[in-house]
Amino acid sequence: MSDGDRAAEVLTRIRALLARSPVARQPCRLADVVSDVLPLVRPQMSRHGVTLQASVDPDAPAVLGDRIQLQQVVLNLVLNGLDAMQDSVERHLLVTTGTDEDDAVNVIVSDHGPGVPERDLQRVFEPFYTTKPEGIGIGLALSRSITDAHGGRLWATANAGGPGATFHLTLPTAHEREDA
């Protein structure tokens, strides 16, 4: 029943985003957002033989945002990482939170899938662009829209020295957003 309630809340928030309705933003910690999402995907990780390494910084500053929408972004990034590794021999997913050199708060999701060709690193965020046979290409586009609405940035890089891709989500701290 709680999963049904959460799904309904996600749909309500996505509709509000698409309608460009104002969203109530409150201080929240990305470490808590990630900690809420990971239990939802652990059964799928187990079924697909994916090992998870999570490094969550509970002391990172709060961001000002809609917790449900931010959970949706993190969930999408993690699920995309899982999907990318379906045919991989090495199936490790790394999820970290922390702060960067600009004191922005970030979530980084790195997989060991086939990676994203350099020419497609920006294109994967375009609506209806997909590399999945059954994909429709709205997950990353929606995630970027949510991130943009929160004053953040979402981008992808190829993993240095190996297969896979890394997705970077960076958001300003709640203090920075209140000052803006």
Structurally, how many domains does the chain consist of? 1
Residues in the chain: 180
Rounded to whole angstroms, what are the CA distances from 10 to 68, 143, 155, 170?
Answer: 6, 13, 22, 21
Residue 112: per-residue pLDDT: 94
Per-residue pLDDT of 49-92, as tens digits, reads 999 999 999 999 999 999 999 999 999 999 999 999 988 888 99
**Does the pLDDT at position 21 exceed 80?**
no
Answer yes or no: is 43 within a domain.
yes
Question: Residue 55 domain-assigned?
Answer: yes
pLDDT value of residue 102: 84
Percent of the chain with pLDDT over 90: 61
Spatial distance between the Cα atoms of 153 and 149, rounded to a whole number of angstroms: 10
Diameter of the chain measured on Cα atoms? 47
The CA angle 165-40-170, to the nearest 5 degrees, is 45
Q: Quote the domain boundaries for residue 60.
A: 25-179
The answer to whether position 98 is within a domain reads yes
111-148 burial, b if ≥16 CB within 10 A, otherwise e? Answer: bbbebbeeeeeeebbeeebbbeeeeebebbbbbbbbbe
d(CA 115, CA 45): 19
| Each residue's pLDDT tens digit, 94-122 | 999 999 888 899 999 999 998 888 888 88
Better-predicted residue by pLDDT, 94 or 4: 94
> Does residue 143 form part of some domain?
yes
**Domain CATH for 39:** 3.30.565.10
Does residue 131 lie within any of the structural domains?
yes
